[in-house]
Structure 1
Amino acid sequence: MAPSISSVLLLVFAGLATAKQCQNFTIPVDITARQGKFLEIPLEGNLDATTFSQLLTQNGANYTATLLQGYQTLQGSYNISAKYCIPDNEKPGPIVQVLSHGIGFDKSYWDLSYNNYNYSYVEVATDYGYSTLAIDRLGIGASSHGDPWNEIQAVAEVEALNAVTTKLRRGEIPQIKNKFSKVVHVGHSFGSVESYWLSALYPSNTDGLILTGYSTASFITTTIAAWNLHIARLNQPYRLGDASPPAGFGFEDLEKGLQALAHKFDIGLSDQDIWNTIATTEVSNLIQGYNETICPLNYSSGYLTWSDLTANQFTFLWPGRYDIGLGLVAEATKQPVTPGEILTIGSAPKTSPFNGPVLVFTGEYDQPFCGGNCYAASPSIPAQAKAQFPKASAFVPYIQPHTAHGLNVHYNATAGYKYIQSFLSSHGLAAA
C-alpha cells in the first residue's frame, strides 16, 4: 500500500538542527509604483477562474489589452515577511543573497525542511559562508496581501524588492544589525523576472544575478491552461481561505471511509487506487488544513491557484526525477497567484544596463520558460537571455539536467546549488 498521506505531509515539519542560524521577522516598506489599472471581472467561483483562463489563452486575442483601462500610481506601506539566515557560529560576511520565490511558492521554497533539509538552498549557501534573506513576495504568504487586480502586480513587487534591498545595504533592518556592501539577487521563475526587472530599473542596487527557472521565452498560455485555475480559497479552504476545519478529522479517516465505500458497493478500488484518488486530485486540497493549518491565510476571492498535484507536476516537476513525498508537500504548502501578476509578468524592460555577473540556471525540461525542452533552440533557449544584458561582465546559461521548472524539489537540487555558489565565487562574489 502507498504511504499514508498524513505521514508524508508531516515530513515537511521534520528535520534535525542544521548548521545555520535563522530568524523570521517582518520588514516594513514604503513603495510607489506606476502600474496598470485593469477592469475587474468576477472571480468568485471556479468556473469564473476557468473563464478567465479561456479568455486569457484564446488564440489571436489580447485579453490583457481588453482588460487594461489605463495606468495609475500605487503608493502604500506594506509588510514583507522575511527569513534571515547566517552560517552557524559566524558573523555575517559582506555579501547577502536575497532570495525571491516564484509563483506557487513562498519563502520556504529556499529552505525546505523535508528529509532533514536535503533540498535546502539556504543550507548550501550558508555552508559556503553566505548570509541569505528569503522573502515572501508582496501579496503572498505572510507578507501584506492586497487587491489581486490593481494592487498586487509585478511592478509593485519589484519596488518592494528594491526597498528591502536598499534597507539591507543601509543597515536599516533592526533584526540584522549589519550593513552589506554587496547584494546578490537570486530568483526563481517570477522571482527571477522581478530580480531581472530590479537590475533594469536600479542596476546599482544589485551586484550579481542568479536567475533560476528563467529564459526570455514564454509558454504562459500552455502553463495557464495546464494549471486548470481555481479560486485559491475554495481549492484549500482551511489554509488559503478562512474556513474553520472540524476537529478530529484527518487523512486516515478519509482513507478508511473510501475503503469502506469501495467494499460496500463492490467498486473494486485497491489501496493504491484510494491513495491516488486522495493524494493526486482535488480531494487532497479540499481536506487540506485539517491537520496542519495554524493560521488561515484568508486570501480574497480573486487570488488563484492550480487545481491539484497533476497540474503541479505538468508545470513544475519531471516524472521519476522528484520525490513524490516532496511533491505532496509542495501541493500542501502551495501559494496562489493574482490576475494582476499574470497580466503584468510580461511587462519587464527589454534590456538591463546591469554590468555585473549573470547566471541563468534553468531545468532541462522547464515547461513555463522552455516549453518542456530547453534544447529546442541552439545552443539553448535560456542562452538567448544574453541579449537582455549587453553590459554584463559575465553571462553564463546553465541547463540543469533531468530537472523541470521547480528546481529545488528535484533529486539533483543540491548539485545545482553548489554550481551556483561556485559561479559566484569565480566572479568576484565569494562569501569571504
Structure 2
Amino acid sequence: MRLFWRRIGAATAACLGLSALIAPIPAGAAEATCRDLSIPVSLLDLPLLGLDQTMYGRLCVPAGGSRTVQVLVPGGTYNSSYWDISHSPETRSYRRVQNKAGFATLALDRLGTGRSSKPLSALLTAFTQANAVNHVVKAMKSGSLGPRFSKVILGGHSLGSAVSVIVAASHRNVDGVLIAGQLHRLNLTGIVPTLTTLTPVLLEPKLGHLDPTSLTTAAGLRYTAFHRGGPLDEAAIAHDEANKDGLAAGEAVDGILLGTLLPLSRQITVPVLLAMGGDDQVFCGGLLGSDCSSAEALKRFEAPNFAPAARLRTFVLPDYGHSFNYAPNAPEFFQATARWAEEMVGR
C-alpha cells in the first residue's frame, strides 16, 4: 500500500513538472508593510533626450525584512493592481503570497498607465519601458529611495514579460526573471479574438486621462480578451473590467517582435521561470502555438530560446487562459514561484 501511494505522489509531481516548488508556503506572522513610491526614470539615456518621467510602484516588505525584492511589471491594459488583486485576495493576490514567503515586492504601473507619468504614447515602446524599468532596478539595488535590496527578481506578465526580457538581456543587472503569459510562438487563430477587443481609450470615458491614441479593451470584452479557457467568474471579470488600463500601440509592436518572436531571451544569464496558463488562447495550441499541456511539454518548446545559464524552469497552471492571476487555482502558481525564487535566488 505504501508503494502504491508513493507512485501516485510521484506521478502527480511529474505532471506538474515542479515537484520541488509546489509545497504550501508557510504564512507569515504579520502583514507586510506597504508604501507608495514615485521613482525617477527615463525613456532614453541620451544627453538632452532623457525625457525624465516618474514610475509609480507599490513597495511591500515582509515584517522580517528581505534582501530580495520582486519588481513586477504588468501586461498591456493592466496596471500594478494585477499583482495584488483585491477581489478574493486570499486566492488572487500574488503579492500576499510572495510577502508571506519572505520576499519584498514592488508592483509597477508602466509609463502611460495608472499613477505613473504619461508621456505621449508615441514615445512608448517595450524598449523605452524597459529603459525606465532598468532605472527602477538600479534604485532598488542602490537604496536611493530608502530600502536597499541586494537582489532583484524581475517579473512580468504578457507585455510586462517582454519588457522584463529586454531588461534582463540588455542590462544584466537582475538576479532572476519570471516570465508569465509570454512565449516565443503565437497561436495565430487564438490571438485574433484578443486583438479585436482593442479600442481607442476615447471610447472609454473612465480612461479619458490617458493619451487619446492609447488603446484598451472595449467594454464587456474582458473575458474574451484575457480569460478564455478558464471558468467565467462574473464577479472576477467585473473586477478586471473596473481596473483595466491602457496600452500604447508601439509597446505591442516591439514587445511582440523583439520580446516574443526573436530569441533575445538567449542573452539572459540568470535563472528563469517561465509560467503559462494551460489554456492560454494567445500563445498555446491552435495554429503555430506552443504546447502548454504540461510543464515538460512547454519546456521542450521553449528551451531552445534560452541559454544554459538561464537554468530554465517551466510551470503550467491548468484550466485557465492568459491572465491567470485571476484563476481559482492561482495559488499553485504563486507558491511555485516563491519556491523557485527561494531555491534559485534566495531571500
Q: Provide closer, same or farther for how the CA distance between residues 414 and 361 of structure 1 changes in structure 2, counting only shifts above 3 A.
A: same
1:139 aligns with 2:115: no
- SS of the residue corresponding to residue 211 of structure 1 reads strand
Work out whether residues 232 and 305 of structure 1, in 8 Å CA contact, stay in contact via their aligned partners in 2.
Answer: yes
Q: Provide closer, same or farther for how the CA distance between residues 399 and 21 of structure 1 changes in structure 2, counting only shifts above 3 A.
A: same
Equivalent residue number for residue 343 of structure 2: 426
Q: Provide closer, same or farther for how the CA distance between residues 225 and 415 of structure 1 changes in structure 2, counting only shifts above 3 A.
A: closer
Cα distance in 2 between the residues matched to 1:425 and 1:102: 24
The letter of the residue matching 2:114 is G
Q: Provide closer, same or farther for how the CA distance between residues 426 and 33 of structure 1 changes in structure 2, counting only shifts above 3 A.
A: same
Cα distance in 1 between the residues matched to 2:258 and 2:229: 32
**Offset from partner CA, 1:203-227 (integer Å, 9 cap, x none):** 2x11011111121112478535533
Equivalent residue number for residue 263 of structure 2: 350
Equivalent residue number for residue 317 of structure 1: 227
1:129 aligns with 2:102: yes
> Aligned to 2:164, which of 195, 199, 202?
195
Cα distance in 1 between the residues matched to 2:229 and 2:216: 21
Equivalent residue number for residue 185 of structure 1: 154
Q: Provide closer, same or farther for how the CA distance between residues 229 and 318 of structure 1 changes in structure 2, counting only shifts above 3 A.
A: closer
1:2-151, aligned counterparts within 5 Å?
Answer: 19-32=31-44, 75-87=50-62, 89-90=63-64, 92-149=65-122, 151=123
1:408-427, aligned counterparts within 5 Å?
Answer: 408-427=325-344
Work out whether residues 318 and 402 of structure 1, in 8 Å CA contact, stay in contact via their aligned partners in 2.
Answer: no
The letter of the residue matching 1:103 is G
Equivalent residue number for residue 307 of structure 1: 218
Provide TM-score, normalisation by structure 2: 0.82
- Report the CA distance between 1:117 and its aligned residue: 4.1
- Report the CA distance between 1:108 and its aligned residue: 0.6
Cα distance in 1 between the residues matched to 2:144 and 2:317: 37
Work out whether residues 31 and 156 of structure 1, in 8 Å CA contact, stay in contact via their aligned partners in 2.
Answer: yes
Work out whether residues 187 and 290 of structure 2, in 8 Å CA contact, stay in contact via their aligned partners in 1.
Answer: no
1:392 aligns with 2:309: yes
- Report the CA distance between 1:388 and its aligned residue: 2.6
The letter of the residue matching 1:355 is T
The letter of the residue matching 1:366 is D
- Report the CA distance between 1:233 and its aligned residue: 2.9
**Offset from partner CA, 1:100-153 (integer Å, 9 cap, x none):** 11112100100111124431001000000100111101222111112222x011
The letter of the residue matching 1:228 is T
Work out whether residues 323 and 411 of structure 1, in 8 Å CA contact, stay in contact via their aligned partners in 2.
Answer: no
Q: Provide closer, same or farther for how the CA distance between residues 358 and 322 of structure 1 changes in structure 2, counting only shifts above 3 A.
A: farther
Larger radius of gyration between Structure 1 and Structure 2: 1
- Report the CA distance between 1:165 and its aligned residue: 0.2
**Offset from partner CA, 1:73-126 (integer Å, 9 cap, x none):** 953100101100011x32x21111001111121001001111244310010000
- Report the CA distance between 1:19 and its aligned residue: 1.9
1:232 aligns with 2:181: no
**Offset from partner CA, 1:342-368 (integer Å, 9 cap, x none):** 222112462333222111000101122
Equivalent residue number for residue 183 of structure 2: 215
Equivalent residue number for residue 156 of structure 1: 128
**Offset from partner CA, 1:241-292 (integer Å, 9 cap, x none):** 1xxxxxxxxxxxxxxxxxxxxxxxxxxxxxxxxxxxxxxxxxxxxxxxxxxx
Cα distance in 1 between the residues matched to 2:285 and 2:218: 20
Cα distance in 2 between the residues matched to 1:320 and 1:343: 27
- The alignment-based identity, stated in percent, is 28
**Offset from partner CA, 1:190-212 (integer Å, 9 cap, x none):** 11111111111012x11011111
Q: Provide closer, same or farther for how the CA distance between residues 404 and 382 of structure 1 changes in structure 2, counting only shifts above 3 A.
A: farther
The letter of the residue matching 1:430 is G
- Report the CA distance between 1:316 and its aligned residue: 1.4
Equivalent residue number for residue 10 of structure 2: none
- Report the CA distance between 1:25 and its aligned residue: 2.3
The letter of the residue matching 2:76 is I
The letter of the residue matching 1:403 is Y
- Report the CA distance between 1:33 and its aligned residue: 6.1
- Report the CA distance between 1:187 and its aligned residue: 0.8
Q: Provide closer, same or farther for how the CA distance between residues 385 and 138 of structure 1 changes in structure 2, counting only shifts above 3 A.
A: farther
The letter of the residue matching 1:404 is G
Work out whether residues 357 and 393 of structure 1, in 8 Å CA contact, stay in contact via their aligned partners in 2.
Answer: yes
The letter of the residue matching 1:392 is A
Q: Which runs of 5+ in 1 are unaligned?
A: 1-17, 35-72, 242-297
Provide TM-score, normalisation by structure 1: 0.67
- Report the CA distance between 1:426 and its aligned residue: 2.2
Cα distance in 1 between the residues matched to 2:305 and 2:119: 31
Cα distance in 2 between the residues matched to 1:320 and 1:213: 14
- SS of the residue corresponding to residue 54 of structure 2 reads strand
Cα distance in 2 between the residues matched to 1:383 and 1:143: 38
> Aligned to 1:369, which of 279, 283, 294?
283
- Report the CA distance between 1:170 and its aligned residue: 0.7
RMSD of Structure 2 on Structure 1 (CA):
2.4
Aligned residues: 309
